[in-house]
Structure 1
Amino acid sequence: MLFHVTRCKQVDSFHEISIVGGGPSGIATALSLLKRGIKSTVFEADATTRPKAGETLPPTVMPVFKNLEIEALLDDPRHAICYGNSWLWGSTHIQDKHFMLHSGGNGWHLQREIFEEALISLAEERGIRIIRNAKIRQVDPSEKGWKMKLKVNNSETTVETGFIVDATGRSSKIARCLGVERHRYDTLVGVVGRFFVDESFELSLQTHIEAVENGWWYAAALSNKQIVTAFMTDAELLPKNYQNSSGYWDALTGTTLIRSLFPEHFQPEKDMVLHTQSAETSFLESIYGENWLAVGDAAFAYDPISSYGITSALGTGCYAGNAIAEHLSGAAEALPAYRYLTEKAFSDYLPLWDHQYALEQRWSEFPFWKKRISPEYE
């Protein structure tokens, strides 16, 4: 994990545009606004970048990176090349898809902490103000737009802002403060583990997916002889022993494809730390309102099986920055157009999501898979 020195900055009393959340969607929005000549302030709740699962980027992400002028971040040797996907899903036969047939070339396995920290640093270099360790407590309307109560570096403060961007991920902190309802299709969570293998062991540079009776596994190799894995299931179906290192490894050894990525006699560290994180498909009932909008997972959150994570975060940030710029210039249709584009992307995703899970019929009577025959949101 990278440790980031907390930036102790004086918090101004007014910010024209405040972006709450310093992840990819929030920074992408700030970069997109900056290209339109508009500065914003990013308020990030964490003082340091938290550990996250490795992220697989498909070749199709490159146009978004180029639009934001951040493609140089992928040159960091700590990110690994990904040559395609390998999966054991809906069949007992392993299937492969190689990116060499794609016009965009290879994909990438990102070290998320490194990527996100580099993205924040790049934004700061370009003049975007980022305030770390800033936790939103309350949001209320004001004459200037909004009044936000925050706790910054353990000190309570209040700032006013003309426009708020909710980039707080699935928690949709701002939208919740404004009373906007969030709908969830499922309760998917991922238990993430990191394993280090011997330097002499050759890692597979593909993304690996394997369906099992109570969920599915993801695995990807990183450049430092690290294999990141995630077991995905519904929160209420997650066995307690999967949340400790021995139980997690025992479950992993029961797989076929995922286990094959490790040396034959490999044993994990006994004190390996596991992280459980939400991964459900969900959406806000309304993704914008008067002087606010939501981006990334805060607006529409995708199942990791889609590989839409960072692609969606950066893409909606691009759209949001332009929409806000047009809105501020008086274009009444700007925010509705943003809603239309993001809603369409989500509606296009839903049948593909259904189809992906419908491909797996071997465990159709087990709770995890049975619920996905005809998923309904709450």
Structure 2
Amino acid sequence: MPTFHRRCRWKTALRPCRQRSRRFCAARPHRSIRSTCPSLSTRATKRCCCCTRGFAGRNERAAVSMERQLDVLVAGAGPAGAVIAAQLAGHCTVALAGRTPSGRQIGESLPGAASVPLRDLGLWDRFLAQGHRPAWSHASAWGQSETVQRDALLDPQGHGWILGRTAFDGLLRDAATERGAEWLAGAMLRAAHHEPGARHPWLCELLTADGIPLRLRCRLLVDASGRSARAARLAGAAVHRTDKLVCLHAWLPPGRDTAAWAGATLIEAAPQGWWYSVQVPHGDTVLAFHTDADQPAVRECKTQAGLLAYAREQTLLIRARCEGLDARAQPVGIAPAYSQYCAAAAGVDWMAVGDAALAFDPLASQGLFNSLCTGLQGAQHAIAHLDGNAQALPAWTHHVDGVRAAYARNLAAYYAMEQRWPREPFWGRRLELAKAAAGAPAMAYS
């Protein structure tokens, strides 16, 4: 409900505009209060004196809310959200709402197949100009202690890329805004209410970066909020996790690297999980350990020094890269890495893309690629839905279900290749997942 102008004889409702120091009467939306209200302040506030009392306080400012209408609200400003917003911007009014990460992000790899969606987006040349490092070589110790090396020259899709995530994510958001999407920087979705039969059935309540509430009505709500699946949960969707995987990671200054593994992406299995290491474009070395959240190794690897010491103790391949690396006593980063999916990737006037629809185990190296593809493909289903196709959103759920089934089979097969520690809880759980992929019941974690 609008906030009323209590002492003004015009008795008109106020709504905030984008200007910081001026507000407008809703009854006369194109005329400022200065020209209509007889109770004007003579100070330089440029606001009606009977309305300015307390506006400097954040709590009273929050009482003023703005309700707007648009076709699509994308909740989440990561790669998937930016891509679908960029694709929709030429067809309808769309807003992209979300916060950008405050620090560095784990997740730096992009497979060679990603050149296809980047070309479809018209961003391939700009992507190349950003200077991301090609991933020419991949080495792994998986299922055996011996190292197997794979050269990207033998890959029909070409070499992958080691990304600078801040620049890459910024490129996608810039593409969305350049094509007409509105970027609500820092705004977070707090609540969503569906009103069946309305022209704009979703009433969404957001909180801006300044702490001011914002009310938007939209025809389609897109969840691109990542593993939080915020919008899908608000819409009543069930979200399932299939494991407890977490990623403990650190960016360490470059050290001595053996000539054989210089620049290579390294993966190695260990009794309580598996390790990953890569050198990012600006020179630092990423050291990441993936294990279940309830494993003892999580306690041992809480600091960079502990993580580095554990890598030297538990690995052979990764240990070679750890030579010369220097770690501090500061905490490591801990990121969720579990597989997760929405029971339905779409519902009544809403849909999910990226990790909100289906979050991959990092072992698949498909997380960012999935975000690009679901953003592109999801945009086609969104446009069809806005054009009145009643089957567009159910078809999206069917498509994501097919991707999830293939992913589960492939992931289970890869984990099943490692049979050296069947009595360890981490690997015993992966054997259960392999059975589930073959049709047997699997355990699930809340």
Matched with 1:267 is 326
2:203 is aligned to 147
State the shift of 1:96 in Å: 1.3
1:198-347 equivalence runs, <5 A: 204-237=262-295, 238-254=297-313, 255-262=315-322, 264-268=323-327, 270-347=328-405
CA RMSD of aligned residues (A): 2.1
Q: Give yes or no for contact 1:214–1:366 (8 Å, CA) kept in 2.
A: yes
Rate the CA distance shift 1:339–1:67 in 2: closer, same or farther, 3 A.
same
State which of 61, 67, 70 in structure 2 corresponds to 1:15. 70
Structure 2 CA distance for partners of 1:316 and 1:265, relative to 1, 3 Å: closer
Matched position secondary structure for 1:320 = helix
Output the TM-score relative to the length of structure 1: 0.91
Q: How far, CA to CA, are the matches of 1:324 and 1:370 in structure 2?
A: 41
> What secondary structure does 2:104 align onto?
coil
Q: Which runs of 4+ in 1 moved over 4 A?
A: 8-12, 198-203
Give the aligned residue type for 2:348.
E
1:70 Cα deviation after fit: 1.8
Deviation of 1:88 after TM superposition, in Å, equals 0.6
Structure 1 CA distance for aligned equivalents of residues 222 and 160 of structure 2 = 29
Q: Shift of the alpha carbon at 1:205?
A: 2.2
AA aligned opposite 2:78: G
Uncovered stretches (5+) of structure 2, i.e. residues with no partner: 1-16, 20-65, 434-441
Report whether the alignment pairs 1:33 with 2:91.
no
**Alignment partner, residue 178 of structure 1:** 235
2:178 counterpart letter in structure 1: E
Quickly say closer, same or farther: Cα 1:272–1:124, change in 2 above 3 A.
farther
User: Structure 1 pair 71/271, CA: closer, same or farther in 2 (3 Å)?
Assistant: farther
CA distance in 2, matches of 1:114, 1:77: 7
Task: Give 1:158 shift.
Answer: 1.7
Q: State the 1:298 CA deviation.
A: 0.5
CA distance in 2, matches of 1:179, 1:340: 18
Deviation of 1:199 after TM superposition, in Å, equals 9.5
In the alignment, residue 19 of structure 1 is paired with which amino acid? V
Give the alignment of 1:118-129 within 5 angstroms: 118-129=171-182
2:252 to 182, 195, 201: 195
Structure 1 residue 101, shift from structure 2 partner: 1.4
- Name the counterpart of 1:4: none
Q: Any idea what SS the aligned residue of 1:331 has?
A: coil
Note closer, same or farther for the CA distance 1:54–1:296 as it changes in structure 2 (3 Å cut): closer
Contact 2:353–2:374 (CA<8 Å) still a contact in 1?
yes
- Tell me what 1:81 maps to: 134
Shift, 1:111, TM fit: 1.7
Deviates more, 1:297-306 or 1:199-208: 199-208
Of the three residues 151, 164, 169, the one matched with 1:98 is: 151
Counterpart amino acid of residue 253 in structure 1: R
Change over 3 Å in CA distance of 1:74–1:337 after alignment to 2: same
Q: Is the Cα–Cα contact under 8 Å of residues 287 and 299 in structure 1 kept in the other structure?
A: yes
Aligned CA distance change for structure 1 residues 74 and 201 (closer, same or farther; 3 Å): farther
- Separation in structure 2 between the aligned mates of residue 100 and residue 284 of structure 1, nearest angstrom: 37
Would the alpha carbon gap of residues 198 and 305 (structure 1) be closer, same or farther in structure 2, given more than 3 Å must change?
A: closer
The TM-score, its normalising length taken from structure 2, stands at 0.78
The structure whose Rg is larger is 2
Whether contact under 8 Å (2:139, 2:264) holds in the other structure is yes
Q: Give the gaps of 5 or more residues in structure 1.
A: 1-7
| Residues in 1 aligned to 2:358 and 2:158: alpha-carbon distance in whole angstroms | 28
Aligned position for 2:222 = 165
Q: Distance in 2 between matches of 1:316 and 1:253?
A: 38
Shift of 1:30: 1.1
Preserved contact between residue 45 and residue 132 of structure 1 (Cα < 8 Å): yes
Q: Secondary structure at the match of 1:364?
A: coil
3-state SS, counterpart of residue 258 of structure 1: helix
Q: 1:57 to 1:320 in 2, by over 3 A?
A: same
Deviations 1:30-67 (A, max 9, x none): 122235x2341100134x55421142111111111111
Per mean C-alpha deviation after superposition, the further-off stretch among 172-181 and 72-81 is 72-81
AA in 1 matched with 2:220: F
In the alignment, residue 246 of structure 2 is paired with which amino acid?
Answer: V
Q: Judge conservation of contact 1:49–1:113 (CA < 8 Å) in 2.
A: no
**SS in structure 2 at match of 1:316:** helix
Higher relative contact order (CA 8 A, sep 6+): 1
**In 2, Cα distance between the equivalents of 1:96 and 1:114?**
29
Question: Closer, same or farther in 2 for the Cα pair 1:55/1:300, shift >3 Å?
Answer: same
1:108 to 152, 161, 165: 161
Distance 1:196 1:266 in 2: 7
